[in-house]
Amino acid sequence: MSRELEPLADPGLPEHVHRKADTDPIAAKRAERQVAVLFSLSGAGTLLFIYSFFFISEETFIFVPIMGTTNAHQLGIGIGMAASLLFIGFGAVHWAKTLMPDQEVIAYRHEMKSEEQDRQDLVATAKEGAAIAGLGRRPLIKRTLAAAAGLAGLPAIILLRDLGPLPGNALNETNWATGTRLVTDPGDRPIKPSDLEVGGVAQVMPALAPGKKRSLEDIAKDAVLLIRIRPSEFQLDPERLSWTHEGIIAFSKICSHMGCAVALYEQTTKHLLCPCHQSTFDVTRAAKVIFGPSARPLPQLAITVDSEGYLIAKQPFSEAVGPSFWERKS
Amino acid sequence: MTARERVAGTVANYVDERTGAAKWMRKNLQKVFPDHWSFMLGEIALYSFVILLLSGTFLSFWFDPSMQHVKYEGSYQPLKDVEMSAAYASALHISFDVRGGLLMRQIHHWAALIFMAAIVVHLMRVFFTGAFRKPREFNWILGIALLTLGIVEGFLGYSLPDDLLSGTGVRIAHAIIQSIPVVGTYLSFFAFGGAFPGYVFIPRIYIVHVLLIPGIFLALITVHLMLVWYQKHTQYPGPGRTEKNVVGYPLMPVYMAKAGGFFFIVFGITAFLGAVASINPIWLYGPYTPGQISAGSQPDWYMGWLDGLVRMAPPLETYLFGYTVSWNILLPGLIIPGIIFTGMALYPFIESWMTGDKREHHILDRPRNVPNRTALGVMSLTFMIVALINGGNDLIATHFDLTINQIMWFSRIGIIVLPPLAFVITKRICLSLQRADREAVLHGKETGRLVMLPHGEYIEIHEELSPEKKFALTQHEQPKAIALVTEDNQGVLNPKGIRAKLQARFSAANAENIAKPTASEVKELESGKH
């Protein structure tokens, strides 16, 4: 015998149990007073808000346990507003729970689907409408309308064309050129190798043409990190070694993963760490990725010194800086 | 008739003569809603949305969505004369020079966090109780759309102040756009009006944040609620509750008072948090510049899982025919989230196919009675939690004295191993709970009272359950596996082939349950016991 045929009987809704306030007028009166007190507390909260807003100076600080020293103006308006709202809510819910009827009532559901007759009527009406319009008999109209409607969507897309310029070669270029001086950021002072001690790190930018201002777009591709270690610690091929100068090595500071600033340098391990996704680069091995999600080393900038002894770029970056993109040559 | 009644009567008459709303109003004021604490979760999301609209409107009176450079001259001394965007300067202005501005900023941000949390917990309630089943599949899809939009809206919102932290988030979003094969570079140049960061991104996302998405939200929430209203709310099983009725309280006055009061409570708690708990102190981060970053950069919690996936992705890029594909960004940033959200949206249809159940359901499931679905839900949550943990790997490393590498490897292995493990364990727990239910119905619940019988044997007294409780524990259906038909009686192969086989496998797994007690079993024990 199938199990579903003999489920336990439904005993029906349990009998309603009255609350104290339903039967005892004193309890009902007490509940009424409680609700009134709660609503009054809300009023007090509003007063606290008004008082704090106008009469507590924004420079007043008070000590509050747990929170420590706190701005009294901010705390006063915040707590006042919170109380004015909370106690309306508490009052209303308490009212509903103690004094409003708590007997559950039953309503009946209807099946979502329409009556069979209504469905058939709809089909008939729709068919009739289509027949009058004659779409079935006049395929030419149907097809040209579909094509026109499809084409009419094009202007909506084409209109967006001037949202921005085409990329062109922008992602492959930086302001680093052969002979560009490295300057400190901030400060814009040219630097000499002796300005950087072994173990030191500095953020540098390409020197600007006189009168030009550095934009955020420039920083987003030009930022370079200078790191000085003992030359004997490098494990580089001869070409990359020739891109360093007296133990100073320069990398793009823009992460090759997603473009964050690779700002954490750990002196003891000679690792660069990107705080966004923890890609870790080994400075001694041309910023080889030793951990994390980045797939490429940070681009290295070839540096040397000019006749005055200031650090300059030997040549532009040999690859695009920053995160990967479809057209990037690897 | 009092004077007040006369006035009310006149107004009602005026309106009804023009709208004919009397019958409709009466019917809806008596609308019955079942009562359960878990039905408040969606309400919290709704109320947070209202709070977001109110506080957001306030903020928009002062916020200047511009990336033009200005020199800060407000009252926050540490940033005096620092160059920054007008957006950041105006966010500082709201925080320090508009009375109540900081409070509203914090309320806005807290409300956003609560909004997303309420949506997620509401989604879990709907999932684990099977409330998404026919006829509510449309509402489930609307819910997934709202969740997705909420994530985007939240991200755009905390990107607006243009501080160092939020700018870093935008930088990452930029890299995700740029990683899209073929069109990524173009899309990023269109979105940012050129190279990153440009001057147009903040004004553009501002209008999306304050107009476009809230407008879509409003429309979707309206439909979401209308469907709940029209289809009537689901209810938990219990005596007197059937698929054909709704047992609960009428809208007027009980639900009006409770729901209305609850709005004030949610608003009050959000205001309290805004008053005492600092959130996103943008003045500490400084203005955004691409050359700087603060350690421990964290997104808001609902983005954490995404960041965690990105962090644990393998360092994989392919170069083919001179073109680059960044799997390390595409996989965690677009492909996996795409699969997760599509799978979620389609789940009601997948389950209905697996079980072959095409009927309407208004009585909710107890999660233990549907072990497969419950296990699948816990499996997905485990995946998300491992991702979320990895999203905070830098903070966990510093707080618990671990290395980033340890946490990263835990996550990389855990995200593959732990979800299936969670599935198996959850399913076992569900079956054990079913066994416990069966025991309780047949033999009563343990009371802890030991009695010595005359012949010296000790027994524990079991207290018989009430008929109401017995019914509640046994009212559910136990599905049967769909029999696999490989060929019909003429020997023709089932045209559905592999699909039929899969469906049979799934439905068999779904039908794995502990047999619930039947009426005759209960009767037998009752007559034999006493």
Q: What is the pLDDT of residue A2?
A: 42
Can you give the three-state secondary structure of B22-69, one letter per residue? HHHHHHHHCCEECCCHHHHHHHHHHHHHHHHHHHHHHHHCCCCCCCCE
Chain B (447-476) residues lying within 8 Å, Cβ to Cβ, of chain A: 467-468, 470-471, 474-475
pLDDT tens figures, A231-250: 999 999 999 999 999 999 99
CA neighbor of A205 nearest in space, from A241, A250, A242, A244: A250
Of B31, B181, B239, the CB nearest to A10: B239
Cross-chain residue pair A105–B192, CB shorter than 8 Å: no
Question: Is this structure's pTM higher than 0.90?
Answer: yes
Cross-chain residue pair A326–B516, CB shorter than 8 Å: no
pLDDT tens figures, B64-120: 999 999 999 999 999 999 999 999 999 999 999 999 999 999 999 999 999 999 999
Mean pLDDT of chain B: 93
Shortest CA gap B295–chain A (Å): 5
Cross-chain residue pair A6–B518, CB shorter than 8 Å: yes
pLDDT tens figures, B318-365: 998 889 999 999 999 999 999 999 999 999 999 999 999 999 999 999
A186 cis-preceded (ω within 30 degrees of 0): yes
Q: What is the pLDDT of residue B362?
A: 96
Residue B530: pLDDT band (50, 70, 90) is very low
Cross-chain residue pair B197–A220, CB shorter than 8 Å: yes
Q: Is B341 buried (19+), middle (13-18) or exposed (0-12) by CB count in 10 A?
A: middle
Pairing assessment for the beta strands A224-228 and A248-252 based on DSSP bridges: antiparallel
Phi and psi angles of residue B130, each rounded to the nearest 5 degrees, phi first: 70, 25
Q: Any CB–CB contact under 8 A between B343 and chain A? A: no
Q: What does the pLDDT average to over A295-315?
A: 96
Q: What is the pLDDT of residue A72?
A: 95
Q: What is the pLDDT of residue B529?
A: 55
Phi and psi angles of residue B363, each rounded to the nearest 5 degrees, phi first: -90, 130
Q: What is the pLDDT of residue B243?
A: 93
Q: What is the pLDDT of residue A1?
A: 37
Cross-chain residue pair A14–B515, CB shorter than 8 Å: no
CA A283/CA B490 separation, integer angstroms: 74
Percent of all residues in chain B with a pLDDT value above 90, rounded to a whole number? 80
Can you give the three-state secondary structure of B492-508, one letter per residue? CECCCCHHHHHHHHHHH
Q: What is the pLDDT of residue B528?
A: 61
| Domain assignment present for B9 | no
Contact yes or no for B500/B487 (Cβ under 8 A): no
Q: What is the pLDDT of residue B485?
A: 74
Q: Give buried/exposed letters for B166-183 (b at 16+ CB in 10 A, else e).
A: bbbbbbbbbbbbbbbeee
Mean pLDDT of chain A: 92
**Which residues of chain B neighbour A82 with C-beta distances below 8 Å?**
268-269, 271-272, 274-275
**Which residues of chain B neighbour A295 with C-beta distances below 8 Å?**
315-317, 326, 328
Pairs across A and B, CB distance < 8 A: 321
CA B293/CA A277 separation, integer angstroms: 12
Of B175, B248, B311, the CB nearest to A259: B175
Chain B (125-154) residues lying within 8 Å, Cβ to Cβ, of chain A: 135
B155-164, B183-192, B492-501 — which is least confidently predicted? B492-501
Q: What does the pLDDT average to over B454-461?
A: 90
- Which of A5, A64, A326, A329 is best to mutate for the B interface (most B CBs within 10 A)? A326
| Domain assignment present for B55 | yes
**Amino acid letter for position B38:** S
Q: What does the pLDDT average to over B127-142?
A: 97
pLDDT over 60 (residue A73): yes
Percent of all residues in chain B with a pLDDT value above 70, rounded to a whole number? 99
pLDDT over 80 (residue B496): no
Shortest CA gap B369–chain A (Å): 15
Chain A (291-320) residues lying within 8 Å, Cβ to Cβ, of chain B: 291-296
Q: Is A172 helix (H, G, I), strand (E, B) or coil?
A: helix
| Domain assignment present for B276 | yes
Q: Any CB–CB contact under 8 A between A159 and chain B? A: no
Cross-chain residue pair A75–B474, CB shorter than 8 Å: no
Q: What does the pLDDT average to over A79-101?
A: 95
Q: What does the pLDDT average to over A62-68?
A: 89
What stretches of chain A adopt beta strand conformation (E)? 61-64, 68-71, 105-108, 182-184, 201-206, 224-228, 248-252, 264-266, 271-273, 280-282, 288-291, 300-301, 303-305, 311-313
Q: Where are the domains of chain A?
A: 20-98, 173-313
Residue A3: pLDDT band (50, 70, 90) is very low
| Domain assignment present for B24 | no
pLDDT tens figures, B308-321: 999 999 999 999 88
A134-138, B98-102, B245-249 — which is least confidently predicted? A134-138
pLDDT tens figures, B12-69: 999 999 999 999 999 889 899 999 999 999 999 999 999 999 999 999 999 999 999 9
Q: Give buried/exposed letters for B77-110 (b at 16+ CB in 10 A, else e).
A: eebeebebbbbbbbbbbbbbebebbbbbbbbbbb
Q: Any CB–CB contact under 8 A between A93 and chain B? A: yes
**ipTM over the 0.85 cut-off:** yes
Structural domain that includes position B104? 37-288
Residues forming a β-bridge with B459: B451
Q: What is the CA radius of gyration of chain A?
A: 37
CATH 2.102.10.10 is held by the domain A173-313: yes
Cross-chain residue pair A92–B240, CB shorter than 8 Å: no
Q: Any CB–CB contact under 8 A between A277 and chain B? A: yes
Contact yes or no for B297/A223 (Cβ under 8 A): no
Q: How many domains does chain B have?
A: 1
CATH number of domain containing B226? 1.20.810.10
